[in-house]
Chain A
Amino acid sequence: MQRLLAFIKQIYVVLIFVLIEGVALWCYATSTPYTEAKILSRTSAVGGAVSGMVTDVKHFFSLSDKNRDLTARVAHLEEMLASRIADEGIDIDSLSSMMNARTELAYRYYPARVVSLTSSKLRNYLVIDRGADDGIAANMGVITPDRALVGYVVSCSPRYSVVMPVLNEKFRIGGSLAENNYTGSVRWSGTSTHHVDLIDLSTYADPRLGMAVEVRSERLPEGILIGHIDDFEFNATQTAYRARLHLAVDISRLDNVIVVENSHYGEIEGLMETMD
């Protein structure tokens, strides 16, 4: 014990330095979204590699489950395809031309795996194992394989990217009611990791409990589910609805995700900037 105390006495200045420097760096890192994302992407290059190895081991042991799910999905898709061919008389040539046409569409999809995430803070982020070298760039949308909204990319290193998920107080995206296309703004109030708010929804929208809300954004294609309405009410000034949505995705259990690139995004942004 005396040796330990003597040792601490020898290095106490360094310990105090590390403590104060750590607090100062933490304050600086969390002061703006830019520093937060930058430091997270820098640390993700190291931390991501370690987390990646751990995730690889986990994935190895869950391969059989994934394989079973994929097989089931392939079977389901084949069944749907066969059914459509039988119902609508689609021949292989027209199917091929349809697929060629699809590749010319605006969206490209990149599968990725989540290597680390937070879900207990007001500003949560997650790190995925695809970066600028894989064609990922800031502002690309991120969804789950079953087409539920996760968030969008805010920063990239060569091999990793930082995603701002829907569970971040800075997150904003358009959301529209699937049944009638009335659109509002989706944001997270930080009160529950399973709920977000849809605000500024028109008084003509006629929301109902359980109604699906989908993404309305230039980052993502149509049909991406955000969640379902759990509760709704007029806002304080009675000029719009405020709906509480139960998220379609459990952010804290994310594993595989899909990054979506809209190749027309830059053009749309450029056009919007000319309006400002």
Chain B
Amino acid sequence: MYKYISYVWLMVAVLVAQIFLLDNISIHLWLRPMIFPLVILLLPMEWRALWVMLIALLTGLLMDISLGGAGLYVASLLPLALLRSTLMYLATNRVVEASDQTSLLSRLSLRQLMTYLALALLLHHALFFLLETLSLAHPLRLVATILFSTLLSTVVAWPIVRIFVGKVLGR
């Protein structure tokens, strides 16, 4: 029960930070940190994909309503919920078992955790910026935006991931 409440707090904290802080910081046109995918990425890996998708839908809807995305946030977040296990396999070579009752995330090495996080954020940011621009007229600018924003998002999200995985899931 304690862990479920922790997930609710994580969701609230990440969304508040995204909506009220990160979205109001104008660093550079190519640098847009987005950490709200953490809500999906840090959910227990053994959860059924359907529940993860419903939480992704809820998170995306909250973002769309708050920031006027009109479906953009849901559309870019939902594939992450479906492909989370595949991303974990690509990053760590581990297959997620449905019967796994202990948190897989807390058993990963820091390097594996970082790879999983960066890969997932890269996929999300690529989908998000492609949908947002709907144009390949400036491919270099698009690629640079995706890469630099992924890098910045990973840097911003990393302390949150470390604290959550270490202090909450590691108990």
Contact = CB atoms under 8 A, between A and B. Distances in A.
A237 interface: no
A21 B134 contact: no
A20 B78 contact: yes
Q: Specify the main secondary structure of chain B where it touches its partner.
A: helix
A31 interface: yes
Contacts of B50: 12-13, 16
A131 B15 CA distance: 43
Contact of A28 (B57, B81, B131): B131
Interface of B: 48-50, 53, 57, 60, 69-72, 74-75, 78-79, 81-82, 131, 134-135
Nearest to B131: A28
Max chain B Cβ within 10 angstroms of own Cβ: one of A14, A17, A32, A34: A17
28 contacts: A12-B50, A13-B49, A13-B50, A13-B53, A13-B82, A16-B50, A16-B53, A17-B53, A17-B79, A17-B82, A20-B57, A21-B74, A21-B75, A21-B79, A24-B71, A24-B74, A24-B75, A25-B131, A26-B71, A27-B70, A28-B71, A28-B72, A28-B75, A31-B70, A35-B134, A38-B134, A38-B135, A42-B134
Contacts of B71: 23-28, 31
Nearest to B57: A20
Nearest to A29: B71
Contacts of B60: 24
A211 interface: no
Contacts of B53: 13, 16-17, 20
A26 B74 CA distance: 11
A39 interface: yes
Nearest to A37: B134
Interface residues of A, number: 20
A13 B52 CA distance: 11
Nearest to A14: B82
A24 B48 CA distance: 22
Q: Specify the main secondary structure of chain A where it touches its partner.
A: helix
A25 B53 CA distance: 16
A125 to B, nearest CB: 15
A54 to B, nearest CB: 26
Contacts of B75: 21, 24-25, 28
Nearest to A34: B134
Contacts of A39: 134
A4 B164 CA distance: 42
Given A17-B81, A21-B74, A26-B71, 13 more contacts: A12-B50, A13-B48, A17-B78, A20-B53, A20-B74, A24-B75, A27-B71, A28-B70, A28-B72, A32-B70, A34-B134, A38-B135, A39-B134
A162 to B, nearest CB: 13
Contacts of A26: 71
A210 to B, nearest CB: 44
A31 B131 CA distance: 13
Nearest to B56: A20
B90 to A, nearest CB: 19
A40 to B, nearest CB: 10
Nearest to A39: B134
B132 to A, nearest CB: 9
A114 B78 CA distance: 36
Contacts of B72: 24, 28
A24 B134 CA distance: 15
